[in-house]
Amino acid sequence: KMRVSSTALLLLSSSYQISNHNHNAVFAFSNVAPQQRRLSSSTIKKPTINLRPSTLKSAQPSNTESQNTDILVEISSGKNLVINSADNHNNHFSSLPGAEAVLDFASVKNSQSKGELALSAARKTFESTNDVAEALLTYSTNENELMGINSDVIELVGHPLGTYATSSSEIQEVAEYLRSRASKGSFPVDTKAPANVGDNAARYETILKKATEESGEVTAAFAKTFYLGTQLMPEEAREAIWAIYVWCRRTDEIVDAPRDNDEDMLRDLSAWEIRLERLWEHGEIVDVLDLPLLDVRIKYPNLSIQPFMDMIRGMLMDIPDLGQERYEDFDQLHLYCYRVAGTVGLMSMPIFGCADGFNEEVAKEPALSLGVAFQITNILRDIGEDASTRNRIYLPRDDMARFGVKEEDIYAQKVTPEFIEFMKYQVSRTRRYYARALRGVPMLHESARLPVQSSLDCYGKILDKIEENNYDCLTKRAYVGKWEKLSIIPFSWYRTQEISKIFPLPGDQKQN
């Protein structure tokens, strides 16, 4: 499963999904079958919105949502969630520790986990023993296989990728052609177009177009619903999202490919990270499927490399022996969710663009909140599957202890009263993230609102399904079918219209 989520590159695009633990939150629409290969994010409008619980639902309201909790979301900072509960008999709901999430992770960004230290060491070894540029090309052409495009990818797509490029030199000419179109100062050395560009421009454009189309094919193969969601976007944005998705997909394949030891994975991941940096800093590419991402880098110069780097570190958190076997508290889980899902929101924001009066800085937090919401939703949905097939529990230990939930009961798929109360709490907290993400939709450019709103509505519907299953995520899987998703889109469209502020849908709150 891709740790990276797909609905949100649809918040991301509003949505995106990567890892053994198929918890991709930004590519949230994708339903990727589990792959057991490893066992082992001027003047600014700052409105304040009061949200009743029913408005936290992502689609039509369900009758299972408690109506006795008022939630105040402070938009100006986005960090304060005040919960006033009438459930005096249940102290678990008097507060929601962890709801006041720190989205920039300033206190932990610079600390290095075991996996990060191992990657850093592997990278130093790689750089000290190789001609880096030559080594990267070797990685690309090893056994005629593009890095991160493994046999399972080719099988799912249905044909080999990149065969339309006749040679490595031709691919480099296309990259030179693209760099020549970059704005001045994008790269340390401004590139002139190839001398024979007049004769070959059409050929270069054809290669880029085919690489972009193949990126769409990979997206469609691994994230069918997400791919359909991208069809709601303008062509340029749609193709940019495909390019980002393919980079995420390839990264996931590199991490999860079967190997005899982690040293080989770390060496490959080091090469992949260096490739990313050289593309961002110098516009250098290695293979033909790098071209769409280079095109994105040039068209969206304010797109930061940081969320891409953070995603790599998020994937390391999922590696046995290198990552984190269990999350002690919600802060640790939240960091994981940011890295593998919230990052997709940050990757997508420059592509979606912001509405007048807003900028990416103020829209960043809703984007991160949506990625985290999707990832936690995936985790809650897959509790039983992760425990039974991967011997993995993602739930914070302190939450489980507070509610009296035992690990052995989860592995035994035993739905206890304690587990049900625990799940009510988890669903309630996750809805806070959907509420925070919801306010970001009006901040987006008009063309991006429907994809984001629809992914928000469709993916959030999983929480309704969890409730309908009486919070049994151990023996049942909350599932939203394709036709149900499609039926939600007209409601999503209405929510993006100005009239919805005056005449909201049943369950939604009128906006002042």
Sorted by sequence, the CB contacts under 8 Å of residue 15 that are 6+ apart come out as 5, 6, 7, 8, 9, 25, 26, 27, 28, 29, 226, 229, 344, 370, 374, 451, 452, 455, 459
C-alpha–C-alpha distance, residues 439 and 362, integer Å:
11
CATH number at residue 322: 1.10.600.10
Q: Of the segments 43-52, 171-180, 363-372, which one has the largest average pLDDT value?
A: 171-180
Please report which confidence band the pLDDT of residue 85 belongs to, taking 50, 70 and 90 as the band edges: very low
Q: Is residue 237 part of a domain?
A: yes
pLDDT-above-90 percentage for the chain: 38
pLDDT for 76 equals: 24
- Average pLDDT for residues 36-56, to the nearest whole number? 32
**How many independent structural domains does the chain possess?**
1
User: Above 70 in pLDDT, residue 2?
Assistant: no
Q: Is residue 116 included in any domain, yes or no? A: yes
- Confirm whether 60 is domain-assigned: yes
pLDDT band at 62 (very low <50, low <70, confident <90, very high): very low
- The whole-chain average pLDDT of the chain stands at 77
pLDDT band at 171 (very low <50, low <70, confident <90, very high): very high
Longest dimension (CA), the chain: 78
Local structure of 194: helix, strand or coil? coil
Q: State mean pLDDT over 103-110.
A: 44
Asked if residue 366 lies in contact with residue 78, where contact means CB atoms within 8 angstroms, the answer is yes
Q: Is residue 111 part of a domain?
A: yes
pLDDT at position 502, please? 66
Q: Is the model more confident about 34 or about 127?
A: 127
Is 70 part of a structural domain of the chain? Answer: yes
Task: Judge whether residue 349 has pLDDT over 60.
Answer: yes
Residue 165 belongs to a domain: yes
Higher pLDDT, 296 or 85: 296
The strand ranges marked E within 306-455 are none
**454 in a structural domain:** yes
In this prediction, residue 71 has a pLDDT band, given cuts at 50, 70 and 90, of: very low
pLDDT: which is higher, 304 or 325: 304
- Tokens representing 78 are 């986005």
Residue 456 placed within a domain: yes
Least confident of 32-46, 56-70, 277-291, 465-479: 56-70
Q: In Å, how far are 93, 184, 378 from 196, measured between CA atoms?
A: 69, 21, 51
**Which residue range is the domain that position 223 belongs to?**
49-502
pLDDT of residue 273: 94
